[in-house]
Structure 1
């Protein structure tokens, strides 16, 4: 198998299921990321259009979070070019919302849920402040939209991991971002709240034309709204509509070994993806680390 095939996108950067034909919200050309001699991905040409929902999948260590850090201007590419809203990423931060990976806050944290969301709303502003009444209404609206209004006045440190994550999502949406970057926002959430979060993000991008880059370990919750999938694995990548990327042939090319992709009752299940090289604990699993992934 020619490993170069695994580096090629399924579609051109300006093709595929993209809702807007205008200038891209995110653009990468010849992008590469490496740590020393270890190349995570290279030769990436990718446009994400306004209103597009791009799901980013792949095993641990494949560079999913690093990609978001690059788009936030917190980490440089090893090679190539990147722009966000037509400018360098560090000059677009005020127009980008970000939901970080789940990281439970200490129990003694006294900042309330509503205070955390308000920081996202006016913590960076200069000049005339928003009226207190308008701020409170907006904060309540955001908290309610993610199911967090009942604990708006609870110290954030006393909330469960899933409750904290919903507050972070509300905070990320506070400034009406034109680009929304989500790093595993469904972690610690039950199925009902996963659906709530996905509906919220989907409604937001459709109503406001927000481009969404949504890193996740599981494709099934986002199969509906996802326009395209960017799958990172084994130093390569594939990008295209979910039905074209999530196949036995494509993932087998990416991993350099046979991987089965099956559909069971409407769910996509990936069996045999060997991610032991990037996630050491998989080597202790049976079947040589050939682990079924419920994508």
Structure 2
């Protein structure tokens, strides 16, 4: 795979098969439309960041791609089939949520759920599973606390385990939902690099929902920005502009760049309802 600078702006090429495809997609809840007319193709190896204010349907988009939420109208395909049929080759990394200190689960047990957690009954090949878990723990740098209780690990350490769990299926698509939220700067960098390394190593596509694009901006090829029931798609330089976001929000938005960081000032987050997966289940 090529480096980030050469990849920037990567999108569908003629004859290249998309691993994610949305056609004229609409998602609404009651009389509230989150987005409509969404046409999007994500190809192998592409890194798509999904940005926008609270309540614009970012998490709901991932739920559609996971097969947990139906579109109101339009078409969605993952790996050329329905999201549910493709689920075994999709890795999912949620935002960090701590485990209670007394949770009776070791780090390796959490990762093992990604290896054979979909199977019922007694584990048929325990040595094979153990070996696979060790490989995944080593890949994300978590081998040293493989047998530690998950409730005693830091948020960053727990996120390493969730990434290892997501990698168990050798995914062609990785979906990350605010995977850096509540992490310190060091662990934001560690987690974002682990996702990037998987993309570079295997050519999987990445869809990364985030409020802050700065920790991943150097890896991002394109941005899907959701606001006011509409959207914009393009490279970071095409989308993260004052004129583009001002038109999207219908009010003056300033996009500032300082010391390689991007700040969007004036985004009306407070006018949106906070989106939670539990509230959006029909």
Q: Structure 1-normalised TM-score?
A: 0.84
In 2, the alpha carbon distance for the partners of 1:221 and 1:130 equals 39
3-state secondary structure, aligned to 2:55: coil
In 2, the alpha carbon distance for the partners of 1:32 and 1:249 equals 25
Check whether the contact 1:32–1:80 (CA below 8 A) recurs between aligned residues: yes
Correspondent of 2:11 among 18, 22, 27: 18
Correspondent of 1:114 among 108, 111, 127: 108
Cα 1:242–1:175 shift into 2, 3 Å:
same
The residue aligned with 1:266 is: 260
Deviation at 1:131, TM superposition (A): 6.0
Correspondent of 1:53 among 44, 47, 63: 47
The number of residue pairs the alignment matches comes to 264
1:151 matched to 2:151? The reply is no
In 2, the alpha carbon distance for the partners of 1:50 and 1:128 equals 33
Check whether the contact 2:45–2:200 (CA below 8 A) recurs between aligned residues: yes
Deviation at 1:19, TM superposition (A): 7.2
In 1, the alpha carbon distance for the partners of 2:243 and 2:219 equals 24
The residue aligned with 2:233 is: 239
CA RMSD of aligned residues (A): 2.0
The residue aligned with 1:73 is: 67
The residue aligned with 1:36 is: 30
Unaligned residue ranges in structure 1 (runs of 5+) = 1-15, 281-295
3-state secondary structure, aligned to 1:194: helix
In 2, the alpha carbon distance for the partners of 1:104 and 1:78 equals 33
3-state secondary structure, aligned to 2:201: helix
Residues 208-264 of structure 1 show CA distances to partners (whole Å, capped at 9, x for unaligned) of: 120110111111111111110111111111111011100001111111000000101
Correspondent of 2:195 among 188, 201, 204: 201
In 2, the alpha carbon distance for the partners of 1:221 and 1:161 equals 17
Unaligned residue ranges in structure 2 (runs of 5+) = 1-8, 275-282
Check whether the contact 1:30–1:79 (CA below 8 A) recurs between aligned residues: yes
Deviation at 1:18, TM superposition (A): 2.3
In 2, the alpha carbon distance for the partners of 1:177 and 1:86 equals 14
3-state secondary structure, aligned to 1:262: strand
